[in-house]
Amino acid sequence: MTKWMAIVVIALLIVGCTAAVAEEGKTPIALSYAVYYPSNSTTSDVFGNSWSGFGLSILRPQDKAKWDTLVTFHGGSSSRSGADASLFGVEYGVQRGFGGDEKAQPFVILGVGPFHGRVDTPTVDESKWGINASATVGVLFNDRFQVAATYDVYSKVGGFNFNGLTLSAGIKLFDIK
């Protein structure tokens, strides 16, 4: 599957799942930009110190009184000097707001789920399913703009450790009713 095909599939899955996560009859869709930093030096040396890209995400105001469930889709790829890697997955998790107000609502998300990883280097060619777990902290501003930091832990693919930090920002584009 090509990088763009995978991005389109994930975007369609996000849009298709909005009915399941919609609250009060509408789901805000945001354009997000993210930068992933692998924490393993070997992974960084082979695939690059950072990977970046755009995607679609769901912005949801966080309820301070309870944990809410959510489903998220994520993916990314890198191609550098004959070494290609891609990670695409779905996570099931919980989220909760804390402190703050409508202008700046801090939140936390904890998730776990399957992912598909592919590594293709001159010495390794592996494609496999694994498990991903993540923890996210962020702030939603005025229900329109979000910044977040996520740390992901992945099963190894082709002997490579893809654990790492992702920094992201998103801005609301429109609501789906």
Architecture of domain 3-176: Beta Barrel (2.40)
Task: Find, among 143, 148, 65, the residue nearest to 109 by Cα.
Answer: 148
Any bridge partners for residue 95, and if so which?
A: 68, 109
- Could you read off the pLDDT tens digit of each residue along the chain, which spans 177 residues? 455 545 555 555 555 554 444 445 678 888 999 999 999 999 999 999 999 988 888 877 666 778 888 888 888 899 998 999 999 999 999 999 887 777 899 999 999 999 999 999 999 999 999 999 999 999 999 989 999 999 999 999 999 999 999 999 999 999 888
For 97, other C-beta atoms within 10 Å of its C-beta total 19
What pLDDT score does 106 carry? 92
Question: Which residues have CB under 8 Å from 12's CB, separation 6+?
Answer: none
